[in-house]
Amino acid sequence: MQTEHTGLKRHLKVRHIRLMALGSTIGVGLFLGSASAIKIAGPSILLGYLLAGIVAFIVLRTLGEMAVHEPVAGSFAAYANTYVGPLAGYMVGWGYWTYWIVVGIAEVTAVGIYMGIWFPETPQWIWALSSILMMGLINLIAVKVFGEFEFWFALIKVVAIVAMIALGAAVILFGFTNDWTPIGLSNLWKHGGFFPNGISGMLLSLQMVLFAYVGIEMIGLSAGEAENPRKTIPMAIDSLAWRILIFYMGAILVILAIFPWNEVGQQGSPFVVMFERIGLREAAGIINFVVITAALSSCNAGIFSGGRLLYALSTNGYAPSPFAKLSKYGVPHRAVIATVAVCMSGVVLNYFVPDKAFQYVMAAVTFIGLMVWIAILVTQIQFRRSLTKDQVEQLGYRAPWWPYSSWFALAFIGLVVVMMGFHEDARIALVLGPCLLGLYLIMFYLAGLHHKTKLNRKFQ
């Protein structure tokens, strides 16, 4: 199904989509959130990133299967509406829009923390406000320009991570900046072992680890504006999964090998601290710049995703009709402006509770993101069940190891949700998350949508 009639422009190339999804994922989860996860799990966080990476790959492939079969702008909200029901489509669409709102807040909160290293006297909320306004303006440009901007923005942090891993490897293997005495990998087990806080420590860290990967699914939202989506989506997905796994595993391995896990602080980025520890203060400043651009890039992608979701909800009758209006450049400008306006709540959070803002937001975004992943997996199971054997054989892009992979991913995510109840900072999300879902359920019934059947059946 094509979407030209909606006014959206198919101007996103495979390199745009690949870097957009990579950019949305490599953000605060890696650069800032990894510090909290390392404190809980120690070196065993590497195992957590590996397991979570496998689950992320499964989710991405199940989404890719549906996106290639039916490349529409509403992505998994559209598929939930079609294969599960209108309520599911409504809940997933609004839930994922909320997710990107919270991601935007998390990213601009991180910008405030990073900028505090250079400008400690400037209030954190000022940087948050400036970031949201700047990213909002970029999202009002034509999608082709946005895609190009995001491509280069994301490329900065990708190149930086590769260089960082290479430099760290030189320290570990050859002793660069350490009088040419190799550091080796002994820090992975010298300070309390690989599991210093036991298996439970690794399990407790999984919600933070999954937070790092949540966002990878935004690749499905680009299907409605991708050139030749049946070709570009599989190419982007297949290259994206292993790249993210390497970036996360490689970067965290370097940090844990260079200095003891129990010395990784929670003030600022552990990557900046790493370079300061090995005597490269200039490099630490560069890395601080990179992590700021990383957070801005992820926020930028979040506003893009939120705007497209609100547009899709509106075209299907699930949101006010004015949000379906497009600018002359094919941008859902009203939906983008509304998304940015709600993101402004993050400025308030940074004003009143700057010290706890990131922890609260990370917990909330993880819960919503995991609910979206569950919705994707359940929808794909229903999608497969709706197909005949011949139709399955004709699928242009199939999820591997089905149905075992989908059920494994669901079980893993269920475990993470349970473990959130044992983590003090994450426990609040188990209260706020269901309340949010309840709010959307009430909205669904107050709007009278339960009397309609499938509406347009598919988001356009």
Q: Is the confidence at residue 89, as pLDDT, over 50?
A: yes
Matching residue, tokens 């002793």: 175
| pLDDT at residue 405 in the model | 93
Interatomic CA distance for residues 149 and 147, integer angstroms: 5
CATH number of 22-447: 1.20.1740.10
Phi, psi (deg, nearest 5) at residue 232: -75, -35
Interatomic CA distance for residues 379 and 199, integer angstroms: 32
Domain ranges of the chain: 22-447
Q: Is the confidence at residue 33, as pLDDT, over 90?
A: no
The C-alpha angle 121, 362, 113, rounded to 5 degrees, equals 15
| pLDDT at residue 411 in the model | 95
Average pLDDT score over residue span 67-88: 81
Contacts of 140 (CB under 8 A, 6+ apart): 327, 331, 333, 336, 337
Average pLDDT score over residue span 426-449: 81
| pLDDT at residue 459 in the model | 41
Q: How many CB atoms lie within 10 A of CB 93?
A: 29
Helices (runs of H) and strands (runs of E) counted in the chain: 20, 0
Q: Is the confidence at residue 294, as pLDDT, over 50?
A: yes
R_g over Cα of the chain: 21
Per-residue pLDDT tens digits for 118-136? 888 888 888 888 888 888 8
| pLDDT at residue 20 in the model | 63
Q: Where does residue 199 rank: exposed (0-12), middle (13-18), buried (19+ CB within 10 A)?
A: exposed
| pLDDT at residue 40 in the model | 87
Q: Band of the pLDDT at 362, cuts 50, 70, 90?
A: low
Q: Band of the pLDDT at 60, cuts 50, 70, 90?
A: confident
Q: Band of the pLDDT at 265, cuts 50, 70, 90?
A: low
Q: Is the confidence at residue 3, as pLDDT, over 60?
A: no
50 close to 244: Cβ distance less than 8 angstroms? no
Torsion-angle region of 349 (φ positive above 0: left; ψ -120 to 50: alpha; else: beta): alpha
Phi, psi (deg, nearest 5) at residue 56: -60, -40
| pLDDT at residue 138 in the model | 80
Q: Is the confidence at residue 412, as pLDDT, over 90?
A: yes
Q: Is the confidence at residue 8, as pLDDT, over 60?
A: no
Q: What is the pTM of this model?
A: 0.81
Per-chain mean pLDDT for the chain: 78
Q: Which residue has the higher pLDDT, 147 or 195?
A: 195
Lowest mean pLDDT among 71-85, 159-173, 217-231, 324-338: 217-231
Contacts of 179 (CB under 8 A, 6+ apart): none
| pLDDT at residue 73 in the model | 61
| pLDDT at residue 206 in the model | 87
Q: Which residue has the higher pLDDT, 407 or 250?
A: 407
Per-residue pLDDT tens digits for 368-401? 788 889 999 999 999 999 989 898 888 888 888 8
Sign of the CA dihedral 110, 437, 413, 23?
negative
| pLDDT at residue 381 in the model | 94
Q: Is the confidence at residue 418, as pLDDT, over 50?
A: yes
Tokens encoding 382: 């229903």
Tokens encoding 289: 């710049």
